[in-house]
């Protein structure tokens, strides 16, 4: 299987962490941000991630990819899910991107290996969010908005090894968002969130993104 992906993409990381937990071989194919032609050639439109199965067919929707990989061999995401965790994920997504997107553009990531690719990302995201310069200037304000959400998450974590005590799709929802948020310098995770984040990264074999 091949996963066409961006390193910073939390949806891509859902698939990557699931394959790692399952010990399923997954070839990761980083795509330049301005390489729309490759994505269109695979599925007819610009979208990330794209999973190309061993039979050559392509799959969209990250959670469908998670389920597809989970169905291979013995399951690992066997724990229950909680609506509270899904609600926390939605709350994280309200504020976190305004902090993370301007920082991704400053990182040396495969999707920004050329100046044109980096410029493409900035132009594309600034059409959705505010100016990256302005967003970085609002860092303290945005961190203040995010901290209560992360504090609420801290109260819900049942184990450093699985958010609900046993690995579940909730871990696939939350860990990628924490990996994204952790790029923000000055954002401190409370103890249970920090321990969970570090434990799960170690378990999956992935490194955090640089902090900036």
Residue-wise pLDDT for 19-55, tens only, equals: 999 999 999 999 999 999 999 999 999 999 999 999 9
Residues 160, 18, 182, 201, Cα dihedral to 10°? 50
Shared domain for 100 and 63, answered yes or no, is no
Rounded to 5 degrees, φ, ψ at 5 are -155, 165
Indicate whether 76 belongs to any domain. no
Indicate whether 200 belongs to any domain. yes
Shared domain for 95 and 199, answered yes or no, is yes
Shared domain for 8 and 55, answered yes or no, is yes
What is the total count of domains within the chain? Answer: 2
Instruction: Spell out the alpha helix ranges (H) of 71-207.
Output: 83-104, 115-126, 132-137, 139-156, 169-181, 191-204
β-partners of residue 29 are 4
Assigned token pair, 77: 């995401």
Shared domain for 104 and 24, answered yes or no, is no
Indicate whether 75 belongs to any domain. no
Which among 25, 26, 18, 27 is positioned nearest to 75, based on CA atoms? 18
Would you say the pTM of this structure is higher than 0.95? yes
Domain extent at residue 107: 83-204
Indicate whether 142 belongs to any domain. yes
Q: What is the pLDDT of residues 106-117, one digit of tens each?
A: 999 999 999 999
Shared domain for 120 and 163, answered yes or no, is yes
Q: What is the pLDDT of residues 144-170, one digit of tens each?
A: 999 999 999 999 999 999 999 999 999
Query: Which of 70, 91, 125 represents a domain boundary (last residue)?
Result: 70
């Amino acid at each position: 299987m091949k996963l066409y992906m961006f390193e910073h993409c939390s949806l891509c990381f859902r698939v990557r962490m699931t394959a790692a937990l399952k010990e399923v071989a997954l070839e990761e194919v980083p795509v330049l941000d301005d390489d729309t032609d490759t994505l269109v050639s695979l599925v007819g439109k610009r979208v990330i991630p794209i999973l190309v199965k061993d039979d050559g067919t392509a799959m969209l929707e990250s959670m469908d990819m998670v389920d597809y990989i989970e169905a291979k061999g013995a399951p690992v995401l066997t724990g229950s899910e909680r609506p509270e965790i899904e609600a926390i994920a939605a709350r994280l997504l309200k504020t976190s991107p305004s902090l993370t997107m301007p920082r991704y553009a400053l990182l040396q990531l495969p999707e920004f290996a050329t100046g044109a690719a980096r410029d493409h990302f900035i132009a594309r995201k600034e059409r959705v969010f505010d100016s990256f310069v302005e967003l970085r200037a609002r860092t303290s304000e945005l961190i203040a908005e995010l901290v209560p959400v992360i504090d609420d998450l801290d109260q819900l974590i049942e184990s450093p090894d699985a958010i609900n005590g046993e690995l579940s799709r909730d871990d696939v929802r939350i860990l990628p968002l924490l990996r994204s948020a952790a790029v923000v310098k000055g954002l401190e995770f409370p103890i249970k969130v920090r321990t969970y984040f570090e434990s799960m990264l170690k378990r999956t074999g992935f490194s955090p993104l640089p902090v900036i």
